[in-house]
Amino acid sequence: MKKQHPLYMILSLVIVLGLFLAACGSDEEYAEDGEFYTEEPSAEEFATEEPSGDGEAALPASNPGEVVYDLGFLPEQNGFSFENYGDDIPATNLTAAELRRMFGDQVCSRLDGDECTLTPPAEQWMEQVNGAMSGGHCEGMAVLSLMMYTGQISPSDFGGSTASELDINDEALQREIAYWFTTQAVAPTYTSVIKGTPMEIMEIVQQMDANGETYSIGIYKEDGSGGHAITPFGVEDKGDGLYAILVYDNNYPGQTRELFVDSRDNTWLYEASINPQVESELYTGNADTQTLDLTPTSARVDTQECPFCDGSGVSGTGSRLAKLDQQLNQIFLDGEGHILITDDNGNRLGYVDGKIVNEIPGATYTAYRMGASGNAPEPIYSLPAGLDVTISIDGSALTEESLTDLVMIGQGFSIGVEGIYLEPGQIDTAYFYPGEQTIAYETEADESPFIVVGVENPEAEADYYFEVQGADIQGGGIITVYLDTKAGDLQINAEKLNNEGSFDFYLTRITDELEEEFAAEEILLKEGAVVYVNYAEWTDANPEGMYFGVDLDGDDIIDDEYIVDDAQ
């Protein structure tokens, strides 16, 4: 059920009269309660509330209908002619080339000419961000269209003289949109976001300069969800203290849309839609909600800080080697549930009663702006590096089963659990110990997830990616996977499983010279046992296969050992 904001209630009569149309001057019909209206909103009808005293300094005098600021951007010419898209078209998003462009050669385990083989953490990070784009690309479209208008990116590189002439089916354009979408997930872009009251945001918009700083606008619902990015280019005086920030909304190609700001009580509202085929929703806010923000374009073109690099990847002349001032581990959830992260002191980060709380010192979260899907992905949660956490994976709000992945990515490593079939009401738990590169997954359901581990390992002169595939947890229990890089072992601990099962094992080994793979099938996983996989001694040139040792009773003594041949 849609939450009733006070401004929404005050303006209910306005809504019934169909004030908020799609585009300024458009004759597009607006549906409300089964009836259709085509009148454009008037300043008199919108500004019905008496000033509350929360407004800011008076704006320079202007006349109703006067455009008090104009960047010169025209949506029909400088916006894209196609709508915001998610996974509804077969689009290409980030590739290794985009990650190398953003962070430099350090994202590559090896380089063969211009071909970059990503480090395992880089590959995992790219997979998570690309997955988020299935819900929409509005951030990339809002930013790239603006940069093409200001001349920072040339549309001719993609086959046209303006953004409106470009073809969505062009893979190079798709990858460029994905690149600028991704900047919202990294510093200094996300650390440069400007939050403020509606009047403060509007004032900054009026300072934009096509030859200087420009901004994209982020809008959110009051619970922080529903993030959408739009492109501001003008401000119009509507009269009686009401102003409209004129925007290009990539859900509505070729149209000028209006985000209303009431200067008398410092409130805002915008009729947005997750896409033009879905019923629109009224976004509202005030001076306290902080649901409007601006991202400066200059922050996106600065050197971006790599959240997963440890500096041991390939380094070449001119490579970007920027790192975060404070090392952070990022948490990604891919699925329809929610997560709640808890540290050892009981501090929480994540969803509590439908809203995000953040009690963990030094932790932050970044909500995606994508604006095409009704099911926005979970925010990216960032935690101080080395912090051990317990994460509940909550399916309480689900109405149907959701395939779910949970991954932590940090400096030189990635660990996670993938392929959880989360049922409505199901609550599983994952325990992350990043300092030890360990994950434990606990469930009461019958699950066969993949446990994934990736690591940059400069001491071994090779990077590794592991999958413990389909580890049976029939009847519930806990499975723990620990990567011991000093001993060169991957340990699969079944001491707390309730039943015997099996798993498949997959490994990729990447050196400066080559990429090797190993696979083994149906490895027995006995209840109470610990399986040791001695990966460090294996190479593709080794005809002996890979050593597996089994501690049957958890006393740290190998009771059984065998060599497993490559099943590929």
Beta-carbon contacts of 381 under 8 Å, excluding residues fewer than 6 positions away, are: 330, 331, 339, 341, 349, 350, 363, 364, 365
Check: CB of residue 223 under 8 Å from CB of residue 290.
Answer: no
pLDDT tens for 13-47 read: 333 333 333 333 333 333 333 332 333 343 344 44
CA distance 326 to 347: 20
Q: Are 383 and 341 in contact, with CB atoms under 8 Å apart?
A: yes
Q: What is the DSSP code string of 132-150?
A: HGGG--HHHHHHHHHHHHT
pLDDT on residue 242: 97
* Structure confidence by residue, pLDDT tens digits, 334-380: 999 999 999 999 999 999 988 889 999 999 999 898 775 556 679 99
Pick 538 or 1 by higher pLDDT.
Answer: 538
The residue-averaged pLDDT of 421-441 equals 96
Per-residue model confidence (pLDDT) at position 221: 86
Nearest to residue 383, comparing CAs of 403, 366, 400? 366
Q: Across the chain, what does the average pLDDT equal?
A: 86
Identity of residue 169: N
Q: How confident is the model at residue 274 (pLDDT cuts 50, 70, 90)?
A: low
Rounded to the nearest 10 degrees, how much is the dihedral formed by the CA atoms of 556, 560, 561, 564?
Answer: -120
Contacts of 336 (CB under 8 A, 6+ apart): 375, 398, 402, 404, 422
pLDDT tier at 272 (50, 70, 90 boundaries)?
A: confident
Helix 120-132 vs helix 96-103: crossing angle, to nearest 10: 110
DSSP bridge partners of 501: 525
CB 117 within 8 A of CB 109: yes
- pLDDT at position 17: 33
State residue 279's pLDDT score. Answer: 67
pLDDT of residue 277: 61
The CA distance from 374 to 88, in Å, is 13
pLDDT for residue 375: 60
Does residue 453 register a pLDDT over 90? yes
Mean pLDDT of 216-220: 95
Residues 51-74 have pLDDT tens digits of 444 445 446 567 888 999 999 999
CA pair distance 178, 477, nearest whole angstrom: 39
What is the structure's pLDDT at 461?
Answer: 83
Q: What is the mean pLDDT of residues 381-400?
A: 96
* Distant-in-sequence contacts of 24-30, Cβ < 8 A, 24+ apart: 24/244, 24/246, 24/255, 24/256, 24/257, 24/258, 25/256, 26/255, 30/280
Tokens (6 digits) for 520? 């083994």
For residues 220 and 379, give the distance between their C-alpha atoms in angstroms, rounded to a whole number. 13
Q: What average pLDDT does the segment 558-567 reach?
A: 92
- Residue 381: pLDDT over 70: yes
Residue 11 pLDDT: 39
Asked if pLDDT for residue 245 goes beyond 80, the answer is: yes
Instruction: Give Cα separations from 378 to 121, 173, 223, 336, 397 (angstroms).
Output: 20, 26, 13, 8, 14
Q: What is the mean pLDDT of residues 183-192?
A: 95
Instruction: Provide the pLDDT confidence category of residue 175 given band limits of 50, 70 and 90.
Output: very high
What residue ranges in 56-201 does DSSP mark as E strands? 67-70, 108-112, 115-118, 194-195
Residue 385 has pLDDT above 70, yes or no: yes
Single-letter code of the amino acid located at 413: F
Radius of gyration (C-alpha) of the chain in whole angstroms: 26
How buried is 353 (Cβ within 10 angstroms: 0-12 exposed, 13-18 middle, 19+ buried)? Answer: exposed
- Is 382's pLDDT higher than 70? yes
- The answer to whether the beta carbons of residues 375 and 136 sit under 8 Å apart is no
Kindly tell me the number of DSSP H helices and DSSP E strands found in the chain: 10, 33
> Nearest CA to 68 among 196, 215, 239, 217?
239
Type of residue found at 261: V
Predicted confidence band of residue 234 (pLDDT cuts 50, 70, 90): very high
CA 8 vs CA 24, 225, 261, 267, 287: distances in Å: 21, 17, 14, 11, 15
- Give the rounded percent of residues in the chain with a pLDDT score beyond 70: 84
Whether the per-residue pLDDT at 267 is higher than 60: the answer is: yes
| Rounded mean pLDDT, 125-133 | 95
CA-CA distance, 503 to 490, in Å (whole number)? Answer: 14
| 80-84, 254-258, 318-322: segment of lowest average pLDDT | 318-322
Given this model, what pLDDT does residue 7 score? 42
Length of the chain: 568
What pTM does this model have?
0.86
Ordered by start, the domain boundaries in the chain are: 6-77+194-292, 81-132+149-190, 437-568
What separation in angstroms does the CA of 272 have from each of 20, 91, 280? Answer: 10, 24, 5
**Helices marked H in 249-308 — which ranges?**
297-301
Region of poorest pLDDT, from 103-107, 249-253, 484-488, 497-501: 497-501
Mean pLDDT to the nearest integer, 318-338: 72
Q: What is the model's pLDDT at position 223? A: 75
550 - beta bridge partners? 531, 560
For residues 380 and 363, the answer to whether their CB atoms sit within 8 Å is no
Single out the residue of 542, 564, 561 nearest to residue 550, CA to CA.
561
What CA–CA distance (Å, rounded) separates 79 from 491? 53
Q: What is the mean pLDDT of residues 263-284?
A: 82
